[in-house]
Amino acid sequence: MRVPFADLKAQYDSIKKEIDHAFGQVLASSSFIGGKFVAAFEQEFAAYLGTKHCIGCANGTDAIEILLHAFGIGEGDEVIVPALTWISTAEAVNNTGATPVFIDIHPDTYTIDPLLIAGKITARTKAIIPVHLFGQAADMEEITRVAHQHNLIVIEDCAQSHGALYKNKITGTLAHAATFSFYPGKNLGAYGDAGAMVTNDDRIAEKARMIANHGQKEKHDHRLIGRNSRLDGLQAAVLSVKLRYLDRWNEARVVHAALYNSLLHDLPVKKPVTVPDRKHVFHLYVIECGYRDARAKLLEKDGIQTAVHYPRPLPFTDAYKHLNIPEHEFPVSLAACSRILSLPMYAELDKEKITYTCSCLARHIHV
Ligand SMILES: *Cc1c(COP(=O)(O)O)cnc(C)c1O
């Protein structure tokens, strides 16, 4: 049997009529950049989250950088980010001229460990960017508490958490502002690059919208030096169709995760820990096991695609090695990186594929 890691074609097949119709409408109206399809999606996504503003942009990395700019963060400032995340979270900080300050993760949720934040706050610290990694919310209450004590901005990186809940509140509404990526493989994905910024703050929303569109308030009224980072009509139209399915697809992921959990129950692997006050949307289903690389290779021979998110904590990638951070500063991230393995996860996955994956893994562990 072949079990792909993700299957975007299966998803397209399930909504083909609606997508093709939506594409046709955009083509017929030539609303390629901005326009009514972008405005409609921005409104729909803001309504889905319950935020006042949603501003579409080119991708989830730009979303972080633009929001940091909008909050006035740049040269000379420090921004706290988790050591284990996709590089965008830190890269966007560098690209504003500010410096990312890495914090180790909690071993169960893989999200930033809030108890370690206070120790890294300096006079230059301006913001914290928690990442709701793998689809589960970070410990927002503790993060908000430290942020409040030190007067810091909090921007949620929701690139992996569309629809995830924290104490019954949806991620993206738990801080000053939040960013989303709609990279095709995310829980809500476009058919190309796309992203968004959300906030209830009128001033930040206005500034972010200007920055993303050449600093313009109205056409040719350049109020500041901005950039070009816009959502296009085709992507917005795809996202409007898919947003209607997001909750259903997330539910399917939760059901698949429960089946994985029960089939892996007796194996010596660490299953994802779901904190009771959170709703995990399983962007990724990540286990931990020994001999990870060897087992991933054996699974590949069985036709099962797996992945590692991520092989190295960011401070130890070549991009950040100039910081000369000693390994002992990030023991939890380092230990996790040698053991984590992401198993196939997508809404269209089925019982047979999950059962086959778990029985192959059991066979490799027991020989
Ligand atoms: C995917 C991702 C991003 C950025 O997304 P792009 O749209 O690819 O720029 C940012 N942060 C995290 C945690 C991500 O997983």
> Which pLDDT tens digit goes with each residue over 193-217?
999 999 999 999 999 999 999 999 9
* Closest ligand 1 atom, residue 64 Cα: 10
Render pLDDT for 174-189 as a digit per residue (tens, 0 to 9): 999 999 999 999 999 9
CA of 157 to the centre of ligand 1 (A): 8
Rounded distance, CA 360 to CA 367, Å?
Answer: 11
Rounded distance, CA 367 to CA 364, Å?
Answer: 6
Q: Is the CB of 88 under 6 A from ligand 1?
A: yes
The pLDDT assigned to 214 comes to: 97
- End-to-end CA distance of the chain, in Å? 21
Rounded distance, CA 288 to CA 309, Å?
Answer: 11
The pLDDT assigned to 366 comes to: 83
pTM of the complete model: 0.98
Q: Is the CB of 84 under 6 A from ligand 1?
A: no
What is the DSSP secondary structure assignment for residue 39, as one 8-state letter? H
The pLDDT assigned to 321 comes to: 93
Which pair of structure tokens corresponds to residue 339?
A: 């053991």
* Residues in the chain with pLDDT values less than 50: none
CA of 43 to the centre of ligand 1 (A): 22
* Closest ligand 1 atom, residue 283 Cα: 15
CA of 66 to the centre of ligand 1 (A): 14
The pLDDT assigned to 240 comes to: 98
Rounded distance, CA 345 to CA 306, Å?
Answer: 9
The pLDDT assigned to 166 comes to: 98
Closest CA to 275 of 108, 79, 30: 108
Maximum separation of any 2 CA atoms in the chain, in Å: 69
**For strand 340-343 and strand 285-288, is the pairing parallel, antiparallel, or unpaired?**
antiparallel
Taking each helix axis from N to C end, the angle separating 292-301 and 351-366, rounded to the nearest 10 degrees, works out to 130
